[in-house]
Structure 1
Amino acid sequence: MPEAPAAALLVESFANTVDVELGTDALDTADGVTAWLTGNGLLPDGHRVGPEDHALCLRLRTGIREELGVHVGDAADAALLAGAEQALRELPVLISVGAAHDGVLTPAPDLPPVRKALAALAIAWSELAVTGEAARLKRCAEHACAWVFWDASKNRSRRWCSMRVCGNRAKARRHAAKQAADRRP
């Protein structure tokens, strides 16, 4: 089973800051975004997220979650994807060739610290998209869950974050629906 690369772990963690099942959102406030970015080593201590950057962060996360939730036969919400696309346009990155850089893509040097942190998330997403690994990052097909997970299956066919919980719920519902349909005259 392929292990998730660092970029996938970061995007997965970012997407899972909202917990549909519990109804919680770690990024529901600017302070929450500050704490998450700082806690993940993206934002140096002492910097605060303002209202505009908070909104930008939420647009980016919402679009990524929407893209990760597209299952075979489903269509993504175009407005949510457009919001993320707009957010990405506000987070410019540069291509670098020097060995002094951690990677080929770097946040634009003139970005303020919070935007650099958000640009690092954009870079992580782009690494997954370019390598095709974004297809292994998925949102659970169980709508009451919607947890983002790394699909380590060989054929990339996993649909649920947990077969024991979410997969079992879906199968039980299908079975109950089939039983009800069979009982109808």
Structure 2
Amino acid sequence: MQLEENGFDTWAPPSPGLVRDFVNSYEPQEDAESLDSATALRDWFAARELVPASARMTADDVAAARRIREGLRAVLLGHAGHEADDEGAARRALDAELARLPLRVSFDADGGLRLTAAGSPFERGIAGVLDAVRRSEAAGEWERLKVCARDTCRWAFYDASRNHARRWCSMAGCGNYIKMRRRSADRAQA
């Protein structure tokens, strides 16, 4: 397991890792948005070889990417066994965005199924993220991608634990915080 200085587990197989990184392009706890412009969105996709570095994105693409990202975060919240933070609005917005995408199913050179889009650079880039979801599911890795149970965090992580029961992005950070709050509440009730 690889840990960054902040204690986050950084390891994940490639496909869930791509989805995790997309979801983590917004850091709720610090209100830090990485996809804050069309250029930033293009650069995010280009860094992962989903679109060429010369691709053009629009403000509408940024808004759609954010709705898809937050819908995926809501799905991953469900993987961790929690209710959606917004009564399902993010998942409905995700479904609406997906309905607009001109996705195609094709076979790659090895005969494997893949999702693609022949439309705009944004559509091709987001199809790459969605294809990573498909690959994750096919490999049995999708349910292991979760978001932190701490309601102020919601950082996405890959649960590599044996029993797939991990609930926090970092035991040293969010896990300890939640456990200390529970102990304090239990003492107050006693």
Out of 165, 174, 178, which is 2:182 matched to?
174
Contact 2:77 2:84 in 1 (8 A): no
Does residue 35 (structure 1) correspond to residue 26 (structure 2)? The answer is no
Does residue 74 (structure 1) correspond to residue 97 (structure 2)? The answer is no
Residues 129, 83 of structure 1: alpha-carbon distance in 2 compared, 3 angstrom cutoff: farther
Contact 1:92 1:119 in 2 (8 A): no
Task: State the superposition RMSD in angstroms.
Answer: 2.1
Residues 75, 117 of structure 1: alpha-carbon distance in 2 compared, 3 angstrom cutoff: closer
Does residue 47 (structure 1) correspond to residue 55 (structure 2)? The answer is yes
Which residue does the alignment assign to 1:86?
96
Contact 1:34 1:47 in 2 (8 A): yes
Q: Amino acid of the residue matched to residue 163 of structure 2?
A: N
Q: How does 1:91-130 map to 2 (within 5 A)?
A: 91-97=101-107, 99=109, 103-109=112-118, 111-130=119-138
Unaligned runs of 5+ in 2: 2-10
Contact 1:93 1:105 in 2 (8 A): no
Deviations along 1:45-83, one digit per CA (max 9) or x if unpaired, are: 112210221121111101001111124352563221011
Q: Amino acid of the residue matched to residue 127 of structure 1?
A: R
C-alpha displacement at 1:114, in angstroms? Answer: 2.1
Q: Amino acid of the residue matched to residue 106 of structure 2?
A: S
How many pairs align? 179
Which residue does the alignment assign to 1:149?
157
Contact 1:91 1:107 in 2 (8 A): no
Contact 1:38 1:45 in 2 (8 A): yes
Bigger Rg, structure 1 or 2: 1
C-alpha displacement at 1:17, in angstroms? Answer: 0.6
Unaligned runs of 5+ in 1: none
Contact 1:10 1:124 in 2 (8 A): yes
C-alpha displacement at 1:100, in angstroms? Answer: 6.9
Residues 79, 180 of structure 1: alpha-carbon distance in 2 compared, 3 angstrom cutoff: same
Which residue does the alignment assign to 2:8?
none
Residues 108, 75 of structure 1: alpha-carbon distance in 2 compared, 3 angstrom cutoff: closer
After the TM superposition, list the runs of 4 or more consecutive aligned residues in structure 1 that deviate by more than 3 angstroms: 129-132
Alignment partners' CA distance in 2, 1:35 and 1:108: 19
Percent identity of equivalent pairs: 34
